[in-house]
Structure 1
Amino acid sequence: MANPERLGDEGIWFRVEEASSASAVRRAAERLAAQIDLGAGPTAALAIAAAELTSNLVKHADEGVLLLRPVRADDIAGVEIIAVDSGPGMVDLAYSARDGHSTAGTLGIGLGSIARQASWSDAHSVPGRGTVLAVQVWPGPAPAPGWAGGVVRPLTGEMVSGDGFAVRVTQGRHQLLLCDGLGHGPLAAAATAAAVSAFHTAPAVPPAALVEHLHRALGHTRGAAVAVAELDAAAAVVRYAGLGNIAGVVIDGNTRRGMVSMPGIAGHQRRVVREYDYALPRTGVVIMHSDGVADRWRADDYPGLLTRAPQLIAATMLRDAGVRRDDACVLVARTPG
């Protein structure tokens, strides 16, 4: 668990098993709201949403967890909560969100109340698999939904994750980074932090050149597996380059194409860095993940999921394919524009 007194952008995970979890989640949400100067009204709305989400997990969920983190758009910051469960799921989310509907013998105002308090929300549910619900609270109107989003979870028992991701748009280039610091714990997290910093400050170059830049920047760290993808909507391609065990796929309907990373460790060992182009249909989705996520999931097991928000897709994958004995990270993007 991260330090809730000063919450970083990676966020903090809560395991929600009993009603007493609600107070801990609410306090952490209020502290985060104060850190980013969310404002009194939005902070009150956030507290209500946090309480309702926690209550829903306690009443309806199996293995419920909740991620609390800051979100940013340009110079504005908000708060995001992602609630994940492996409960019975819902056939019709819209119907279940109506006031008065209940599946636990209680007044079913939870989902409707959450949507009303949030600046933005999205959800996906599959009967027998569970539900993932994401809400954001902003100081004003919610920004336009992002073209990319991800989630990170540390190895069970660790305070920090050695996995991480970053997203940037520079000189028209829509680029993604996924990084897996070698090993676990603070030194792995330091390698990933160095990669993220170097990614954000790097010149606007193609993925292979960017991976070379990261390789040089990580020489003082224990090293990491890294991969960079660039989504080019005009050319209808995704350009991809990687070193080490990072998985990348392009999914469009029932078509799934794997993307190739070269062997090596950024910062220490590398062969020739190669960049590959893959077709990116307008409806295509790019998914990248560390080896803390097993490559055993199938998109057709989740009807409608690929149309939802990127972070919702990422959280669903992490729930069902994440490995508890390793740090885990999933990053999802769809064709920008």
Structure 2
Amino acid sequence: MASLPEGLAHGGVWLRVEEPGAASAVRRTAERLAADLAMPEKRIADLSIVAAEASGNLVKHAVQGTVLVRAVRADDQAGVELVLVDSGPGMLDVQRSIGDGHSTAGTLGIGFGAILRQASRWDLHSVPGKGTVMTVQVWPGTAPEPAWAAGVTRPLTGETVSGDAIAARIVEGRRQILVSDGLGHGGLAAAASHEAVRAFGTAPAAPPAQVVEVLHNALRHTRGAALAVADIDVAAGVVRYAGLGNISGTLLAPDGSRRGMVSMPGIAGHQRRQIREYDYPLAPDAVVLMHTDGVVDRWNPVDYPGLFSHTPEVIAATVLRDAGTRRDDAGVLVARVS
């Protein structure tokens, strides 16, 4: 089998879905990825139904529909996830809209039912007038526990890979997350962030400032990156945060309030005056959200009723849709405290 396209092999590929032929491209891309992951033929067939129905819904109902097709891995197995994003019209009654027999396009209205029956896991959030974000996962066996931290990245328009990368780990009881923004765009920026993710995965269990120091040293042979690490200590009720460069970190409380976290100036791998670590109180059921400078802070939590009770993937994709720029790589990572 031919090797996967670069984007599909590294973090997934985004496809615009605004006409019927694009829906077929989503299905073929998902099937190809599943085959490369050696998923059973039965589950590849199930995935094909999910991809066709989900992307077909975007063609019929959505505005500016896009789909991210990517691999997901956990518990020694790999599956395929579709992240479907659109900018309208949204659903007034989600439960009614996803039921069999409901249609606004003159069809039988069985699309959502088919998706949910074949999927291992799904989540959906919709706001009338703003649009809908849906994630669907198809696993070869029993689906693993939902991810406590997840996100999305998207390359600059015209590039096949993103210079932004995200990662999460639990090491010796520490829950830590990383966001990296490789300097510039394209392959060299992606290489810098991939090295940051690799070094993060093997770094000792240590406070964020020490982990950032490890990453700084690991990136010396790359063009460098802005990056930040958050350590989420639920038992102590605190988030410890350290970063170099323009990575934004935000604590979102259940009451809708938000608090920014501080990174220091610098470029990991090249320019580092000092690495400081800051502690922030962590409320129960809070959400930790980090993003690169390809995402602007123009979104307001109060505009998304119910969003922050959803999965990290749906939260991240919603923020990326409404606050991400097409003129830069963009990445959002979300961790749930509860």
1:294 matched to which residue of 2? 296
Q: What is the DSSP-based 3-state SS (H/G/I as helix, E as strand, rest coil) of the residue aligned with 1:221?
A: coil
What's the Cα RMSD here? 1.3
2:132 matched to which residue of 1? 131
1:142 matched to which residue of 2? 143
CA-CA distance at 1:6 after TM superposition: 8.0
Preserved CA contact (<8 Å) 1:230 1:238: yes
CA-CA distance at 1:9 after TM superposition: 4.4
Preserved CA contact (<8 Å) 1:89 1:130: yes
CA-CA distance at 1:170 after TM superposition: 0.7
Q: Percent identity?
A: 65
2:156 matched to which residue of 1? 155
Encode CA deviations 1:148-181: one digit per residue, 9 max, x unaligned.
1000000000111111111111111111000000
State whether structure 2 residue 307 is matched by structure 1 residue 325.
no
State whether structure 2 residue 266 is matched by structure 1 residue 264.
yes
State whether structure 2 residue 294 is matched by structure 1 residue 274.
no
Q: Quickly say closer, same or farther: Cα 1:318–1:3, change in 2 above 3 A.
A: farther
Q: What is the DSSP-based 3-state SS (H/G/I as helix, E as strand, rest coil) of the residue aligned with 1:320?
A: helix
Residue type of the partner of 2:80?
V
Preserved CA contact (<8 Å) 1:5 1:31: no
Tell which deviates more after alignment, 107-116 or 124-133.
Answer: 107-116
Preserved CA contact (<8 Å) 2:294 2:325: yes
Structure 2: runs of 5 or more not aligned: none
Aligned pairs, how many?
335
2:227 matched to which residue of 1? 226
Residue type of the partner of 1:107?
L
Encode CA deviations 1:232-291: one digit per residue, 9 max, x unaligned.
111011110000000000001222110000011001111210111111112100000000
Within 2, Cα distance between the matches of 1:330 and 1:308? 15
CA-CA distance at 1:5 after TM superposition: 7.7
Preserved CA contact (<8 Å) 2:6 2:160: no
Within 1, Cα distance between the matches of 2:261 and 2:149? 18
1:45 matched to which residue of 2? 46
Within a 5 Å distance, the mapping from 1:12-31 to structure 2 comes to 12-31=13-32
2:180 matched to which residue of 1? 179
Within a 5 Å distance, the mapping from 1:163-242 to structure 2 comes to 163-242=164-243
Preserved CA contact (<8 Å) 1:6 1:32: no
Q: What is the DSSP-based 3-state SS (H/G/I as helix, E as strand, rest coil) of the residue aligned with 2:53?
A: helix
CA-CA distance at 1:3 after TM superposition: 5.1
For normalisation by structure 2, the TM-score amounts to 0.97
Q: What is the DSSP-based 3-state SS (H/G/I as helix, E as strand, rest coil) of the residue aligned with 1:34?
A: helix
1:305 matched to which residue of 2? 307
Residue type of the partner of 2:128?
P
Structure 1: runs of 5 or more not aligned: none
Preserved CA contact (<8 Å) 2:195 2:219: yes
Encode CA deviations 1:116-158: one digit per residue, 9 max, x unaligned.
1100000000000000010000111211111010000000001
Within 2, Cα distance between the matches of 1:324 and 1:9? 19
Residue type of the partner of 1:299?
P
Within 1, Cα distance between the matches of 2:16 and 2:8? 17
Preserved CA contact (<8 Å) 1:249 1:256: yes
Within 1, Cα distance between the matches of 2:256 and 2:335? 17
Within 1, Cα distance between the matches of 2:143 and 2:298? 35
Residue type of the partner of 1:142?
A
For normalisation by structure 1, the TM-score amounts to 0.97
Q: What is the DSSP-based 3-state SS (H/G/I as helix, E as strand, rest coil) of the residue aligned with 1:270?
A: coil
2:116 matched to which residue of 1? 115
Q: What is the DSSP-based 3-state SS (H/G/I as helix, E as strand, rest coil) of the residue aligned with 2:122?
A: strand
Encode CA deviations 1:174-198: one digit per residue, 9 max, x unaligned.
1100000011111111111111111
Within 1, Cα distance between the matches of 2:162 and 2:143? 29
